[in-house]
Amino acid sequence: MDVSQYLEVFLDEAREHLQNLNTQIMDLEQDPENMDTINEIFRAAHSFKGMAGTMGYKRMQTLTHDMENVFMKVRDGSLKVQPNMIDILFQCLDALEKYVNNIQETSDEGTEENEDIIKLLNNCLKQEGASAPEASAAPAEEKSAEEAPAAEAASADNGNTDPTQNWRAIKLDDSQQDVLKEAKDQGKNVFGLTIKIQEACILKAARAFLVFKALEELGEILVSNPSAQDIEDEKFEFSFSLIVITESKLEDVIAACKSVSEIETVEGGEADLSNAAAAADTAEAEAPKEEAKEEEKTTAPAPAASTAVTPTGTTAPAPAAGGAKKPAVSKPIVNRTVRVDIEKLDVLMNLVSELIIAKNSLVAASSSEGENNAAFNEQIEYLESTTTSLHESVMKVRMVPIESVVQKFPRMVRDLAKKLDKPMELYMTGEETELDRTVVDEIGDPLMHLIRNAADHGLESAEVRKERGKPATGSIFLDAYQDGNNVVIEVRDDGNGIDVEAVKNKAIERGTITEEQAATMTDKEIIQLLFLPSFSTAKKITDVSGRGVGLDVVKSKIESLSGEVEVKSKLGEGSTWIIRLPLTLAIIQTLMVVVGGEKYAISLGSITTIEDINPNEIKYVQSKEVIHIRGQVIPLIRLNEILDIESTKGPDDNLIVAIVKKGDKLAGLVVDELLGQQEIVIKSLGKFINKSKIISGATILGDGEVALILDANALI
């Protein structure tokens, strides 16, 4: 079977499973008794095994199989979760990740057998193997029985192993029984079939469909369990049952089913009408009970179950309902999603940009027209609001929660804690904060650097912490939140903080700065030295951090995403690294201003207020112009001076000042005129003149003219 077309799906899902396993095993370490977690791990390991098997990755399959075995024992209680087991499991996950990476690069799993890990896993099994020899025999059945006691009761009648997976359990309503009787009278055969699909099958629904098709050529399918609709939606485990009316012999029918590939077993027999009728009777007798159970179920966290219950009509939703419910219960309801190539989204985004430029032209044309056409203007306004919402929703499509990046950190911190022999804990908030997909993809490494830094350099060893009266376990916090047009991610630790003196001495020793320079530098400026290439203050180089690559990389990475990094640190109390990233990259809301007859755009996100200032109010601090507003002293920046252009205003005219904010710093930008708010599409100025930092790009105005975008952050 050619599986290459599924490779991408496999890799995606494998990574999801790995992440899920990582998270769950972390949880398990905290709460080794939690059955939900154990079940979840078992399920993930099981599907992993199935996937790997289907794709023909034998080594991966073996490893997951052994993992599954361990969890089977854990699940039935014959094996207790030990701390050393957690370590082995993490080793397993690392090995699996290596396989996955190998597959991604070479589409081959590689040759690493990971025998030692498998041995360790088997040792785990042996530990308790003697005390509970056969307890693991049928955990799956046990579990399903627990979940559906009513179904079990019904199965007693039939004396069968699994009621929901056998054709004998199919209940018929009156009209169906009539059809059946009629068929029998006509001398046709009525067979019940139970078809089991191989567990490794990827497209269960497609296989089932082929079986249906094969059978329909021979006769008529009277009823199926689960319903045809549920089968189509893959709402079944691995087997389904049918009752067919046909003129062919049983062997032919079974052979037809078996001709479909990836079918494991087909079991069939003459459907006995009286049996079916009797079963129907039981079903009717049980009906009230079932209904009661159903009501209970509606309160359960699986609303989809109720929709999956109506396959065979009104009178007999008996054990069939139980069967349909089972998969619904075991799988949490997942949002319906579509995977889209990011390039397609880029194209869409570009088209939206074009549309916004065209809209801006229309707006400009409508306002320049002398006569006022009310209907026209109305439509323009409508268009304006539509394009804005269109832009917003396209942006939202591109937004993904940073969760996908940060969820690997708890595991990383755990490993770091072991490696560095410092107890520490990572606390994360705001994982749901969303950022543009391209930004999220890039932000992982810088964050990892910062967390490693905090773990290695920031946090003190347990002994030192105790001496200083801190809890022995160090804390690292990762907080993400949205702040206006920015997303802020903070990495904070309660460790030692940055030793400014040590940094200063190191810088002098390295010749980065001279002693005279050092004397005049503020603490803040010295901390900035950390971002210089090849600067590490760790006394000894560890393999965690301190190889001198790091902070400079972090800084340049963040800056390449048009973001910025800031550090706040207090010696003895810890440090905070603040990363500020723009929410969007392509289209922004701006304030259009005029300076010396030229139009400029300033991002609205950085503007806090607009002030009208009398020249008399200007004060001087260190011979620099400042204004004093509402208790704050704000330095003035005369844009016309920075932009080398004559202001059109006289010296006695009132100043229009746009107060802009960067972090907690404020500045007042003096402009000549305000034009108003406008949504603009950011265009690059090109590499040719990408020199001046204060210009972050350009945009095309409604009249086709180009206006430059001022980067307020660079001005402050």
Partner 1 sequence: MVDEKTVAETVQYVVIQIGSEQYGIDIKYVDNIVRVQRATRVPKVPEYIRGVINLRGEVIPIMNVRLKMNLDDVEDTKNTRIIIVKLEQQGMVGLIVDEVKEVLTVSLEDVDKVSYEKDEKSHFLSGIAKYDNRLISILDLNAVVSEEKDPAKEK
Check binding of 698 to partner 1 (CB under 8 A): yes
CA pair distance 418, 378, nearest whole angstrom: 66
Closer Cβ to partner 1, 668 or 702, answer by number: 702
# residues near partner 1 by CB under 8 A = 26
Q: Using an 8 Å Cβ cutoff, are 647 and 596 in contact?
A: yes
CA pair distance 546, 524, nearest whole angstrom: 21
For the CB of residue 600, give the shortest distance to partner 1 in the complex, in Å: 10
Q: Is 13 a catalytic residue?
A: no
Compose the 579-598 pattern: x for residues touching partner 1 by CB under 8 A, - for all others: -------------------x
Compose the 400-439 pattern: x for residues touching partner 1 by CB under 8 A, - for all others: ----------------------------------------
Q: Could you please report the per-residue DSSP string of 472-485?
A: SSEEEEEEEEEETT
Q: Which amino acid is at 308?
A: A
Closer Cβ to partner 1, 345 or 695, answer by number: 695
Contacting partner 1 (CB under 8 A), which of 644, 650, 664, 676?
644
Closer Cβ to partner 1, 42 or 600, answer by number: 600
Check binding of 708 to partner 1 (CB under 8 A): yes
For the CB of residue 689, give the shortest distance to partner 1 in the complex, in Å: 5
What distance separates the 2 farthest-apart alpha carbons in the chain?
Answer: 109
| Active-site hit among 22, 225, 453, 496 | 453
**Helix (H) / strand (E) containing 487:** strand 486-493
Q: Is 68 a catalytic residue?
A: yes
Closer Cβ to partner 1, 554 or 707, answer by number: 707
- Part in contact with partner 1 (CB under 8 A); list of ranges 35-43, 179-187, 661-669, 688-696: 688-696
Structure tokens at 608: 């806090």
For the CB of residue 693, give the shortest distance to partner 1 in the complex, in Å: 9
Of the candidates 637, 676, 675, 641, the residue with the CA atom closest to the CA atom of residue 657? 637
Q: Which amino acid is at 427?
A: Y
Closer Cβ to partner 1, 412 or 700, answer by number: 700
Contacting partner 1 (CB under 8 A), which of 704, 713, 714, 715?
704
Check binding of 695 to partner 1 (CB under 8 A): yes
Contacting partner 1 (CB under 8 A), which of 35, 137, 285, 706?
706
Bridge partners of 245, per DSSP, are 190, 220
90-94-95 Cα angle (round to 5):
115
Structure tokens at 161: 């192993």
Burial class (CB in 10 A: 0-12, 13-18, 19+), 156: exposed
| Active-site hit among 40, 68, 286, 434 | 68
**What count of other Cβ atoms lies within 10 Å of the Cβ of residue 389?**
10
Check binding of 183 to partner 1 (CB under 8 A): no
Check binding of 715 to partner 1 (CB under 8 A): no
Closer Cβ to partner 1, 389 or 692, answer by number: 692
CA pair distance 506, 280, nearest whole angstrom: 86
Q: How far is CA 569 from CA 32, 466, 525, 574, 576, in A?
A: 37, 21, 12, 6, 6
- Part in contact with partner 1 (CB under 8 A); list of ranges 155-163, 216-224, 318-326, 640-648: 640-648
For the CB of residue 355, give the shortest distance to partner 1 in the complex, in Å: 11
| Active-site hit among 17, 22, 40, 46 | 46
For the CB of residue 671, give the shortest distance to partner 1 in the complex, in Å: 14
**Helix (H) / strand (E) containing 526:** helix 523-528
Contacting partner 1 (CB under 8 A), which of 302, 610, 685, 715?
685
- Part in contact with partner 1 (CB under 8 A); list of ranges 273-281, 284-292, 562-570, 684-692: 684-692
Closer Cβ to partner 1, 630 or 687, answer by number: 687
Site for partner 1, residues 340 to 359, rule: CB under 8 A = 354, 357
Q: Using an 8 Å Cβ cutoff, are 183 and 229 in contact?
A: no
Query: Which segments of 561-667 does DSSP mark as H helices, in order?
Result: 639-642
Compose the 298-337 pattern: x for residues touching partner 1 by CB under 8 A, - for all others: ----------------------------------------
Site for partner 1, residues 90 to 149, rule: CB under 8 A = none
- Part in contact with partner 1 (CB under 8 A); list of ranges 215-223, 226-234, 443-451, 683-691: 683-691
Closer Cβ to partner 1, 226 or 702, answer by number: 702
Closer Cβ to partner 1, 269 or 597, answer by number: 597
Closer Cβ to partner 1, 32 or 596, answer by number: 596
Q: Is 453 a catalytic residue?
A: yes
**Helix (H) / strand (E) containing 283:** helix 273-299
Of the candidates 91, 10, 20, 123, the residue with the CA atom closest to the CA atom of residue 57? 10
Burial profile 615-642: b = 16 or more Cβ within 10 angstroms, e = fewer: eeeeeeeeeebbbebeeeebebbbbbee
Contacting partner 1 (CB under 8 A), which of 221, 594, 645, 666?
645
**HSE-CB for 70 with a 13 A CA cutoff:** 25
Residues 6+ apart with CB under 8 A from 47: 17
**HSE-CB for 119 with a 13 A CA cutoff:** 4
Query: Which segments of 195-243 does DSSP mark as H helices, in order?
Result: 204-218, 228-232
Contacting partner 1 (CB under 8 A), which of 281, 632, 705, 714?
705
* Residues at the contact surface with partner 1, assessed by CB under 8 A: 354, 357, 598, 642-645, 683-689, 691-692, 694-695, 698-700, 704-708
Catalytic positions: 46, 68, 453
